[in-house]
Amino acid sequence: MVARQNAIVTTIDALPRTPSGLIRLARSGPWDSVRPAVVVAVYRLWLVAFALKMLGSTWDMSWHFKWLRDTAAPPHIINTIGTVIVVALVIYQARFDVGVDAWAKRLMVFGTGMFLIAIPIDVINHEINGLDITAWSPSHILLYLGTAFMLLGCFRGFWSSTEPSRTRTIIGAVLWGFFLENVLFPSQHQEYGQLSLEAWLAGSPTAEPMLLEFAAGQLGRPVDDIAVQGFALPVDSWVYPMWIVSAAILTLVAARRFVGARWTATAIAAGYIGYRLVAWILLTGTGFPPSLPPLMLLAGAIMVDLAFLAIANGYARAIGGALLATGATAAAAWVQDYSIGAPPIDYVAFAWGGIFLAVAWAGLSVGQRTPALTSAPATAHPTPAPEAAA
């Protein structure tokens, strides 16, 4: 195992070091002796790209609760740099079949295309409508979906082109962590919005007057309590709990299913929450609005991992796991709301989210009987099934 990991780390030394060699690599693709090194380098760049996109999006949400939107704002620039790297990687991998199979290539190309189409749509939408008030707008949803397909293609390509090892497991979990961040990005509107509304009602708004006036003008009102609530919390209280269970917890189920390692869901949820807390410190320390991170997510993640460890039958696991994860998440949401606060929550919506989670989880269980994202190419070593890893 150690020897294999060392080989993965040091194989990048095989890359050419001269300008002419790098130009040849870029124009003609990798030759056999450097192909393994190129695969390693490509997926390292994927990690850099999505780290930049995540940092940009995190700052972007807080930025939009303080200042009026600006296309050239620093968070957008950071996100754009990450996107440019992704586009270059997708073109290179698709053209020369570097570290991808047919499905990975399709997912990467489709997701990148959707994202690139969504960018001008979103810019035009903002130019016409100014703020579109909510992170749940149609143009934003296209951006989230495009990023999701990119990440699925990246995970499949990485997983199918890399031999089983601890390094592969960790990087696979990190990619699913980026996927979770993308899924939870729109729900941050409520996490920031709740505290922004409270700050307004307390007489110390965190948003600049220009932003409040513009948002109120779009609603056809003066800057008052109703206008600020319409900007800060524009969706119903059932949206947040429904999304946490049906999308975020389902993402953790998929991560545990495809990565296959013990406590995958818990590790990803803990990593995401840890990242949000560090970002909270950095953002509030520099004068940006605070948020309410979804701490309740960790309780659901633990139940997901316990279900994979304790329940062997796939369908029983889906039903029992969904019940446990939904109940734990709802209970943790109540504790969080009571102790430090939470976005508006209609607790009945947890039940509907749990039903969707059970059905989708069962669908993932069916997928375990056929080649899926965990399948490796014929020349690679077989990957242990998730049940075996558990």
What is this structure's pTM?
0.88
Q: Answer yes or no: do 167 and 249 share one domain.
A: no
Q: Answer yes or no: do 243 and 108 share one domain.
A: no
pLDDT tens, position by position, 20-62: 777 888 888 888 888 888 999 999 999 999 999 999 999 988 8
327: CB partners within 8 A, 6+ apart? 303, 354
Number of domains in the chain: 2
Q: What is the pLDDT of residue 64?
A: 85
pLDDT tens, position by position, 326-336: 999 999 999 99
Show which of 183, 214, 235 is a domain's final residue.
235
**Residue 257: which domain range?**
239-390
> Where residue 366 falls among pLDDT bands split at 50, 70, 90?
confident
| pLDDT at residue 212 is higher than 50 | yes
Q: Answer yes or no: do 282 and 175 share one domain.
A: no
Show which of 209, 235, 261 is a domain's final residue.
235
pLDDT tens, position by position, 145-172: 999 999 999 999 999 999 999 999 999 9
Q: Answer yes or no: do 45 and 99 share one domain.
A: yes
Tell me what the mean pLDDT of segment 96-120 comes to: 93
Question: Are the C-beta atoms of residues 354 and 322 closer than 8 Å to each other?
Answer: yes
pLDDT tens, position by position, 126-144: 666 655 556 777 788 899 9
Q: Answer yes or no: do 220 and 253 share one domain.
A: no
Distance CA 235, CA 186 (A): 11
| pLDDT at residue 386 is higher than 60 | no
Distance CA 39, CA 30 (A): 9
Question: Are the C-beta atoms of residues 162 and 4 closer than 8 Å to each other?
Answer: no
The tokens describing 317, both together, are 């696991």
Q: Answer yes or no: do 189 and 293 share one domain.
A: no
Higher pLDDT, 122 or 175: 175
Q: How many other CB atoms are found less than 10 A from the CB of residue 239?
A: 22
Q: Answer yes or no: do 116 and 217 share one domain.
A: yes
Q: Give the 3-state secondary structure of residue 239.
A: helix
Q: Answer yes or no: do 163 and 64 share one domain.
A: yes
Q: What is the pLDDT of residue 228?
A: 87
Q: Answer yes or no: do 373 and 332 share one domain.
A: yes
pLDDT tens, position by position, 263-302: 999 999 999 999 999 999 999 999 999 999 999 999 999 9
The torsion region of residue 236 among left (phi > 0), alpha (psi -120 to 50) and beta comes to beta
First-to-last CA distance in the chain? 19
Q: What is the largest CA-CA distance in the chain?
A: 67
Question: Are the C-beta atoms of residues 49 and 88 closer than 8 Å to each other?
Answer: no
Q: Give the 3-state secondary structure of residue 261.
A: coil
Q: What is the pLDDT of residue 209?
A: 84
Task: For 198-233, give one letter per residue: b (16+ CB within 10 A) or e.
Answer: ebbeeeebbbeeebbebbbebbeeebeeebbbbbbb
Show which of 235, 266, 301 is a domain's final residue.
235
Q: Answer yes or no: do 224 and 289 share one domain.
A: no
Q: Answer yes or no: do 103 and 150 share one domain.
A: yes
